[in-house]
Amino acid sequence: MGALDGKVAIVTGAGRGLGRAHSLTMAAEGATVVVNDLGDEAEAVVAEIEAAGGTALANHASVSDWEATEALVADTVDRFGDLDIVVNNAGILRDKMSFNMDESDWDSVVDVHLKGHFCVSRHAGVYWRNQAKAGATVGRRIINTSSEAGLFGSAGQAHYAAAKAG
């Protein structure tokens, strides 16, 4: 019996690194995991989870896309009957000193780290609020991955540090 038996989780940026580790650990504890990542790595993580006897689904929505994240939450609930946990882990980095950075460099990093956390959380929050209004009293969780760069800054990463601080 796992600590997350019967729970359903969305993990963003779950194709590799910390997101992959979150996904594998949650699945090992009994959660059904929606592995969100833009790359093909999502399928590899799903295959690992399924090979270990878990349930998972790959999703390739961009976390900074309002409609795509709304669909991510709705599709998760439709397919698995609920959503209990959101892990906002998706992130990108475009190393550049601020005097060499252009607007698209800034926007792409802030979109994923800051807007991406908001989009997924917002749509999950709407679902959870509706569940609470219907009488559900189940605990829900949002886990946001951050970085010490948000506290201390980082050379060549003004956009990353600003987004992580947000």
The set of catalytic residues is: 147, 160, 164
Contact 4, 26 (CB under 8 A): yes
Lookup result for tokens 């961009």:
62
Report the relative pairing of strands 56-59 and 32-36 from DSSP bridges: parallel
Query: What sign has the CA pseudo-torsion 91, 96, 97, 103?
Result: negative
56: amino acid identity, one letter: A
* Residue-wise DSSP of 25-62: HHHHTT-EEEEE-SSTHHHHHHHHHHHTT--EEEE---
Alpha carbon 65 to chain centroid, angstroms: 13
How far is 121 from 132, CA to CA, in rounded Å? 16
| Closest CA relative to residue 55, chosen from 75, 37, 32 | 32
Give the Å distances, CA to CA, from 157 to 89, 160, 163.
Answer: 18, 5, 10
